[in-house]
Amino acid sequence: MRRAVSRMLSALLGTLWGVSAAWTAHAQTAATDENIQTVTVTYTRDPVDKSYRKMIRGMERFQRDHALAPQATLRFRLLPRSPTVDMHGITLRVIGDRIAVPVPVAPDNSFTLPRNEQALQEDAAVVANRKTTSMTWRAQVTTPGLPPGTRRLGDLRLECLVGMEAGLVSNSSPLFGWISNALTSPEQVCNSPDGHFLFFTEHPVFAVTLGAGDRTEILPFHFLYAGGDQTRDMLPFCDCQVLLDRTYYAPIWDRSWPDDTLVTFDTMDDPPP
């Protein structure tokens, strides 16, 4: 069974197409006071950018709802959308009219954002040196000390709220219903079974199991692989585009599962039982 699913996913992912390599341009922002300073920023013509204000609001949401994951920390993370994107050497900057703030990116392509009042006033953008369709963005809420290969359901609930507040879900289309038009707020998306907020695993997933006390449940197949009904025409509108075999939905809306519920992953890389 596991090999059959793996072959099916490999065939599906093999149909994906690459994107052309990003090319760089230069923009200059000038800060004028008594002396004029020029900051030169290198970025792509079609940059992957997010609203700095929205991402700061996502950080504030994390603080407001920290009770969902009281021991957790927040980072943001970049993930590939297309099969040819190079995820090495990514640089990020917060760019406004007169400000450019570099953002350090960790080897796993995660980062934190500094709070900068001038960038907020200038409605700055968080800009990466990659093309728009090449990457997706997610919040990463992590409680330390969990067993390997597990997540905590409260962490996932908070990831959804932060990600929606920060405007991280990209390039979705109402034609394909990745997130329903009727669901416009973080509360609606994250508290509804129709929210369709996708999570990603580190490795191709085979099965996902919930466990809380004596209660366990294996998630049904339609919770995996972004529902399992995508076509070549639909995939460009999902930020799971190249990570289809690493996607899953979690029942974050179902309050019968407590926040301390462990979400356990069996992956395609695990040896068969």
pLDDT, mean of each 10-residue run, the chain (273 residues)? 47 38 36 38 58 97 98 96 88 95 97 97 94 86 96 98 90 48 78 90 94 97 80 68 85 97 90 63
pLDDT confidence of residue 170:
66
CA 107, 12, 236, 263 torsion: positive or negative? negative
pLDDT confidence of residue 44:
46
**Residue 163 · residue 138 · CB < 8 Å:** yes
Say how far apart CA 206 and CA 268 lie, in whole Å.
5
Q: Of 202, 189, 203, 197, give the one whose Cα is nearest residue 227.
A: 197
pLDDT confidence of residue 205:
93
pLDDT confidence of residue 5:
44
Cβ neighbours for 256, distance < 8 A, ≥ 6 positions apart: none
Which token pair is 240? 């799971």
- Residue 148: how many other CB atoms lie within 10 Å: 6
pLDDT confidence of residue 25:
35
Q: Which residue ranges make up each domain of the chain?
A: 41-267
Say how far apart CA 163 and CA 122 lie, in whole Å.
22
Residue type, 139: A
pLDDT confidence of residue 204:
92
Residue type, 20: S
Say how far apart CA 117 and CA 265 lie, in whole Å.
41
Distances (CA, A) of 56 to 67, 159, 223, 245: 19, 14, 30, 31
Cβ neighbours for 88, distance < 8 A, ≥ 6 positions apart: none
3-state class (DSSP) for residue 245: helix
**Residue 43 · residue 93 · CB < 8 Å:** yes
- Phi, psi at residue 53, to the nearest 5°? -60, -45
